[in-house]
Amino acid sequence: MNTSPQLLQDNHYSVLIIGGGQAGLSMSYNLKQQCIDHLILEKNRIGHAWRSERWDTFCLVTPNWQCTLPGFPYTGNDPYGFMKKDDIVDYIDRYVASFEPPAAEGVGVTRLLRNAANVFEIETTKGNLTADQVVVAIGGYHIPIIPGAAEKLPDHIVQLHSSDYVNPESLPPGDILVVGTGQSGCQIAEDLHLTGRRVHLCVGDAPRVARTYRGKDVVEWLDHMKYYDLPVERHPLGTGVREKTNHYVTGRDGGRDIDLRKFALEGMQLYGRFETFADGIATFGSELKNNLDSADAASENIKNNIDKFIADNAIDAPKEARYVPLWEPPADAPQRLNMGSNNIAAVIWCIGFRTDFSWIEETIFDARGYPGHTRGVTDIAGLYFLGLPWQYTWGSGRFSGIARDAGYLLEHIVRHRDKNLPTMKISVQSTQLEVQ
């Protein structure tokens, strides 16, 4: 990867890519194939989230064969396995080495706007740039969500967001309260549980999915069923699916289900949704049973769809008994937790992120701050988004679908460039960026 200052001596680019994760790299690969001058701006280090915002035992929940970055499909010897954190970082690093994208690390973007000449002006922590077109490739997970109730916890209780969790050994001795049961919450709770830590888990309404069913990984069945080709506008929930929590499952140790009922039998204490904290007591909702049942129902519904697909296509697949709940919460399931008497040493907030595009000065955002777009193309000519969850399909924010989305944006970038070539001759100011 070339991060030399020479890349920044001319402060105007045909295309600027903001963000150096898999989305930004995929866009850069496509642009480089077309010999379009561009630059990636990454405020940290390329692949930062994978390096620094994942815990030690983190692994993908999608099989390795779904890792299909543009020009760089998975070629290892374990296509049905699941990359661990270090393997993911290595995959990113090898991708970078394979085509050497032009990138500037340690450059944060603080402002983006169009001027009267319809040229984009980009203010950064290292100086100012201009560009004919801009691809915002920073995904949709920006600001960790920590509830206001966190301020009421005593200082001796360690608090951290899931993106800051490292391993059980990094936490003080004592019980751990994990709030949230999306993928991160369930996997972190399991990570702690497997090392013998006493875990108290607040169960939300996230659905779950079986790891395997009738002889195949469920992801493989869904791929055969073309689920991953389903565009967002054809999803039963429409764009509302973007607000839904992902199904929880794990790729750990070769892949398996995450069954919270099994954890309960093994000593993990389950509660309903976290509500508040006051006077040393955490309180929870009464919906534990409903949330467990709903998660199971989501998994069984996926199996129903697989059964139908198998029958409709006369596929020879082994029969498999359906899931039977291993545990039921008692009628008087606890809704209060005395943090002191239960020796709660740490709280891990696993309740997601908020988006933050406040630095983009264009009126394309809805009341929740989500950008208006069609497959990443906005109403602002030359401004695009890439890597958003369900930007176009389920795989848009993942290794599996980013190539399709980047290829689609490339077509628009080339069309915009060709249409405006005669008018894109602008004078370049002398402002220089210095990369240290």
Name the 3-class secondary structure at 386.
coil
| Beta-carbon contacts of residue 111 (< 8 Å; ≥ 6 apart) | 121, 122, 123, 359, 361
CA distance 219 to 392: 18
Residue 102 has pLDDT above 80, yes or no: yes
Name the 3-class secondary structure at 410.
helix
Query: Could you read off the pLDDT of 315-338 as tens digits, one per residue?
Result: 999 999 999 999 999 999 999 999
- Rounded to an integer, the average pLDDT of 91-103 is 97
Is the dihedral angle over the CA atoms 165, 169, 171, 175 positive or is it negative?
positive
For 109-149, give the secondary structure using H, E and C. Answer: EEEEEECCCCCEEEEECCEEEEEEEEEECCCCCCEECCCHH
Predicted structure pTM score: 0.92
**8 Å CB contact between 139 and 23:** yes
Residue 360 has pLDDT above 60, yes or no: yes
CA distance 399 to 29: 14
- Residue 8's pLDDT is what? 53
- Rounded to an integer, the average pLDDT of 415-423 is 82
**8 Å CB contact between 46 and 423:** no
N-to-C CA span, the chain: 16
Query: Could you read off the pLDDT of 16-45 as tens digits, one per residue?
Result: 999 999 999 999 999 999 999 999 999 999
Fold of the CATH domain 5-142+355-423: FAD/NAD(P)-binding domain (3.50.50)
- Rounded to an integer, the average pLDDT of 291-295 is 97
- Residue 1's pLDDT is what? 56
Regarding beta strands 383-385 and 127-136, do their DSSP bridges make them parallel or antiparallel, or are they unpaired? Answer: parallel
Residues of the chain with CATH 3.50.50.60: 5-142+355-423, 145-349
Q: Is CATH 3.30.450.150 the classification given to domain 145-349?
A: no
